[in-house]
Structure 1
Amino acid sequence: MPDIEDSVRSRGARHLALARAGVERAAQHRFDEPWLAAAWSHPNTRVLPISGGEAFVVDTERGTELVLLPSFEAPETGDRYFLGTDEDGTSYFALAGESLPGRLDGDARPAGLREVGAMLSDRDAGLLVHAVALEHWHRLHSFCSRCGHPTEKAGAGHVRRCTSCAAEHYPRTDPAVIMLITDEQDRCLLGRQAIWPEGRWSTLAGFVEPGESLEQAVAREVFEEAGVRVADVGYVASQPWPFPSSLMLGFMGTADPAGTAITVDGEELAEARWISREELRAGMAAGEILPPSGISIARHLVELWYGEPLPPAARW
């Protein structure tokens, strides 16, 4: 039986698909307009056009890559967001528009994080996650929550400032816990929502409520959704989840032996079950169980418990 704590320590450095980066955010430049103007005009600067959470990607011999344009080739309209600089001094911006630019040369195609997030390099994954989160926030926060007047972009895309009362608003991030709970037999608790594809099973998750610790949120969500009492909880890792604005905080935990009976709420979950490694492996081989996708931290949690990367599923 794999030791969970040893597994977490030995694989804690493994990059999660959406928690990677190759660019320093360089926040000290966000309010330096002369510096930003010079960076935009530099011939080495690269721009990521984005619209509706999608950007252009292209498949190369090196793998799937973002299409990054020199600033002089970027569209003249759109909202600019400064994303940072790399170790070579190259600056990166996102340019959000109502639509992506017209057809590019070659085999470029529009794609979103769910499709290509796990395929991109560390640099490209970090750029796209950052840009997607900012674009969504700006699209939904054009008015001041204090006085109702319009807001305008500031801080190179990382602030919105009210044009009337001058209140500053910052990008919203909603903390959510995601957890893999085990019982005395070292089976893990998996659930499925009614809207998911047939056979899809994953770990439980839920949003943190006001005035609640992360550990309390884990215990509450597991009990509310599956009727299981949680005894112990340990933090594993976190991952941004810009669908639209969450930060997923991953935990491993154990159930109270006296509270392992499952009673699903019928709202968040349609089904829940305790499953052994042998049952998971057999179910995947038979095409009866689809595990969490590789882009989700849920996959990482399941593999920590499983003890190694999951085998291919018949329908995966």
Structure 2
Amino acid sequence: MTDEGPTPPFARAVIDRDAERRADPAIFDAFDADPASRVMLVHGDRALLAEQVEGSAPALEFFQPAEAPAGMLRAYLGRGDTPARAYELRVVDDETAAAVEPEAARWVGLRDAATALDELGTGLFVEALALANWHASHGFCPRCGATTTPVQAGWARRCDQDAAMLFPRTDAAVIVLVTDDDDRLLLGSNAMWEQRRFSLLAGFVEPGESLEDAVVREIHEEAGLVVDRVEYLGSQPWPFPASLMLGFAARIAPGVDPADAKPDGEEILELRWFSREELAESWGGVTLPGETSIARWLIEHWYGGPVAAPDRSPEWSVS
């Protein structure tokens, strides 16, 4: 981080991942025998929330190991709020999820839950969802096509044919706060979004490319602008399904006219420059990223504080 301000929403984890214990073949036996251990459940892209009573804050539902269903996958998440308490993920199928909790409203997605959960709950949810997504897409070895088996407490898979080890991978993506010499902010509307939705420009890092080069390339490809003065601001995981969003600021290069900004017509359909005053006045005409996104965090970093719609129009979420 370049300053000591708030961190992005999904980067506020307070989890000790306790990675050294993953290689212990008896880790789950010890976990199950510890009365302080707790299990969280994930079904698809949703986690089970505790039933709320009057005045209680939203929270993940935790089970003691013997009370939780076996699940299709279990993975050790680490230690959280106290050194003595360990946490585990168990992924359950449709039938098990319905048997545990038939009320669909208590199975909640990360985007909806993260702004309400505390740092421990959000951190566990982000970690668990990222792991669950990786396992769901790696049931077969990419080298030979054989089946794979989870090992190392859920943090690796082993090929059943040749014992090759597979480890979770994260796709790096840059997201960029582009400004001009008048400190106006560039926002774009993606072809996949509804009209009037605007966010920062972003894209995946290509093989053999540095992060800084990815910033320059993406802005040129999507907006036709040359930028420089690239500065790293912060990052957050984005497990939809397996990205790490790396936030940067960049200024248009000397001699570049902001009016030359031109959407590529494929990914980006519209580009607009905003001063802080224009952004505040435009809330009735544009929709900005939701509170869980690093895009919103970066915009507020530039804006100098929270941005809020006067009419509290519904928000949406994009990385």
TM-score (normalizing by structure 2)? 0.91
Q: 1:42 is matched with which residue?
A: 34
Which sections of structure 1, spanning at least 5 residues, go unmatched? none
Partner of 1:306: 303
The correspondence for 1:88, drawn from 80, 83, 92, is 83
Q: Distance in 2 between matches of 1:35 and 1:81?
A: 10
1:17 corresponding residue in structure 2? 9
Letter in 1 for 2:143: R
The answer as to whether partners of 1:22 and 1:124 remain within 8 angstroms in 2 is: no
1:76 Cα offset (Å) = 2.7
Displacement after TM superposition at 1:144 (Å):
1.0
Q: Superposition pairs for residues 49-198 of structure 1, below 5 Å?
A: 49-58=41-50, 59=52, 61-86=55-80, 87-99=82-94, 100-104=97-101, 109-198=106-195
RMSD, aligned CA: 1.9
Aligned to 1:268: 267
The Cα of 1:108 is off from its aligned counterpart by 6.6
Which secondary structure state, in structure 2, belongs to the residue aligned with residue 186 of structure 1? Answer: coil
4+ long deviations beyond 4 Å: 105-108
- Between stretches 47-56 and 194-203, larger displacement belongs to 194-203
SS at match of 1:272: strand
Match of 1:28 among 15, 20, 26: 20
Offset, 1:28: 0.7
| Whole-Å separation in 2 of the counterparts to 1:165 and 1:81 | 23
User: 2:224 maps to which residue?
Assistant: 227
Amino acid aligned to 1:54 = R
In the comparison of the two structures, how many residue pairs are matched?
A: 306
Instruction: Output the CA distance in 1 between the equivalents of 2:117 and 2:212.
Output: 32
CA deviation vs aligned residue, 1:216-275 (integer Å, no higher than 9, x gap): 000100110011110210000010000000000001110114333111111111111111
Gaps of 5+ in 2: 315-319
Which deviates further from its counterpart, 99-108 or 183-192? 99-108
The alpha carbon displacement at 1:64 in A equals: 1.4
1:217 aligns with 2:209: no
Contact 2:189 2:195 in 1 (8 A): no
- 2:238 aligned with 1:241, yes or no? yes
The one-letter code sitting in structure 1 at the alignment partner of 2:273 is: W
Q: Structure 1 residue 101: deviation in Å?
A: 4.8
Distance apart, 1:131 and its partner CA: 0.7
1:10 and 1:95 map into 2 onto residues whose CA distance is 36
The secondary structure found in structure 1 opposite 2:76 is strand
Residue aligning to 2:285 = 288
What is the DSSP-based 3-state SS (H/G/I as helix, E as strand, rest coil) of the residue aligned with 1:270? Answer: strand
Quick one: distance in 2 between partners of 1:224 and 1:53? 32
8 A contact 2:189–2:268 mirrored in 1: yes
Assess, with a 3 A threshold, how the Cα gap between structure 1 residues 313 and 216 changes in structure 2: closer, same or farther: farther
1:104 is displaced (CA, Å) by 3.7
Q: Aligned partners of 2:75, 2:60: CA distance in 1, in Å?
A: 16
Give 2:49's aligned amino acid: V
Q: For residues 159 and 36 of structure 2, what CA distance do their matches in structure 1 show? A: 34
Task: Write the distance in 1 (CA, Å) between the matches of 2:268 and 2:310.
Answer: 23
Mapped to 2, the partners of 1:145 and 1:18 lie a distance apart of 30
Secondary structure at the aligned position of 1:33 is classed as coil
Conserved 8 A contact 1:49-1:56: yes
Does the CA contact (< 8 Å) of 1:241 and 1:248 recur in 2?
Answer: yes
